[in-house]
Amino acid sequence: MQNAVPRSRWVRWLAFVVVALLGLAIRLPQLGVRPMHTDEAVNGYIVGQLLAGDTFAYDSRDRHGPALAAVALPLARLQGAKTFSDLTESELRITSVVAGTVTILIFGAAAEMFGFVPCLIAALLFAFGPLPVYYDRYFIHESLFCTATFGLIVSGWRAVKMRTLGSGVIAGACAAVMLAAKETAVLHFTALFVAALGFWFWSPRGTDPRIRQWIKSKAALAAGAAFVVLLLVLYTWFGRDWKAIPMLLHAAPHLLERAGGQGHEKPFWYFARLLTGGWSGGVVIALAGVGLLMSIGRSGGAAYRFLAIYAVTIAMIYSAIPYKTPWLALNLWLPATLFVGLAIGSFWNAAANRIPKMAAIPAFAVLAGLMTALLAHDTKQRVFLHPADETNPYAYAHTTEDILGLAPEITEMAQRDGIPKPRIAVIASDPWPLPWYLRHFSDVGFWQPGQAVGKADFYITSTDAAERYGDQLRDDRADFFGERPGVLILLWLPMPK
């Protein structure tokens, strides 16, 4: 059953379009309610600079590649944004929503590779699972990166199998988008290379000739050309900044430094614990483990053997690197859903061969209903009810809801004191995400602690910076705001006259 594909391509695509639309529907509500994470705020500021006519300036020290901005910029313009202050949370996050929806559609293209039923089950898990729904509503690079990765796997497989120019171009373009989204693409390229080697030598006929034939084909040349051209177009920001290319070539030291942790060190088993959490996590990963074992045992065919090697390799790489953030788990959830699909499809086949279908159908319906209830509970809790709560494992170092009251209080106090255009001075070593929440004010300055700060109507300081400016702030009173867990900022308000 797992390899059966409906005879009509329209029937197959209709099923995946329906699932994608359902996934889109669950990703759109309350899109702007959750506070902006610091990373989201930085990415939003970059889009704001681009709206103002600036060129994307790649910096391997503290920025990822330009792909996210390249997709977000036209989407923001289509929604009417013209300046940084025009942007809203929803207008930015729609980029990740679109990327996640496209990922669901790619499962339809993968049906010939992995089977219709496993891909349909995987698409449903991706559409409604708490982890993909959460990060597909997050304006960071991971959703787009995951889309491009899946696109590379599917188009690359088709390119090796069919050796057509079109599939080669798509594969090269997907690889370019991966590297233009995040430099961690090199880890996935490594895992895919290991999977290709394993597939080559694991072939029942010895070394599989298709890879050798692919390397010598015009499709491989087309893939390489598409990769280079699109990568140059994106990193140079359409030919406007060629300094980005040497910076990309020298990014390795910064990546190695970041991999060491930089305050984000987690134990080896972090992702396993994250993926098995909640009501549904243990069930999903247990089924994925069964599907993985079936793939290794050659029950799923060549495509699943390739996927198994890739999935195990990338999971080991991510787990071994000290630097870990929860959104990286999206790259592990993707292959896991296909292994779940393989396991469930095989269980169905086994059950149908041993018991009457009239008995098997109700049993699987009950199991499907139970799984749906578990997923619905976790998605509701983590995505909609507690999206920024400290207890939510997906809300990593997240901006608190308390920060939402900062700008309104400044506006209220300015109106009270008759200040039409308040001058705001922010003094903090790390001011993010404050530039996002102060974007509607026209006169805002940012200073590092210790720098001389001129007269302002309102001061915002970190707790440590406040001690250095005691004389300057002695006539003001402090109002505390939680910025993120364990981090407070102080809004200094003039005393009423």
Q: Torsions phi, psi of 216, nearest 5?
A: -90, 0
Residue 250 CB coordination number (10 Å): 10
Q: What is the pLDDT along the chain (497 residues), one digit of tens a residue?
A: 445 555 578 888 999 999 999 999 999 999 999 999 999 999 999 999 999 999 998 887 778 899 999 999 999 999 999 999 999 999 999 999 999 999 999 999 999 999 999 999 999 999 999 999 999 999 999 999 999 999 999 999 988 888 788 889 999 999 999 999 999 999 999 999 999 888 777 665 555 566 666 666 787 888 999 999 999 999 999 999 898 888 888 777 767 777 666 678 899 999 999 999 999 999 999 999 999 999 987 666 889 999 999 999 999 999 999 999 999 999 999 999 999 999 998 887 776 666 666 666 777 788 888 999 999 999 999 999 999 999 999 999 999 999 999 999 999 999 988 999 999 999 999 999 999 999 999 999 999 998 999 899 999 999 888 888 888 888 889 999 999 888 999 999 887 66
| 339 Cβ contact partners less than 8 Å away, ≥ 6 residues apart | 287, 288, 289, 290, 291, 292, 294, 295, 304, 307, 308, 311
Return d(Cα 386, Cα 2) in angstroms, integer: 37
Residue 391 CB coordination number (10 Å): 8
* Three-state secondary-structure class, residue 206: coil
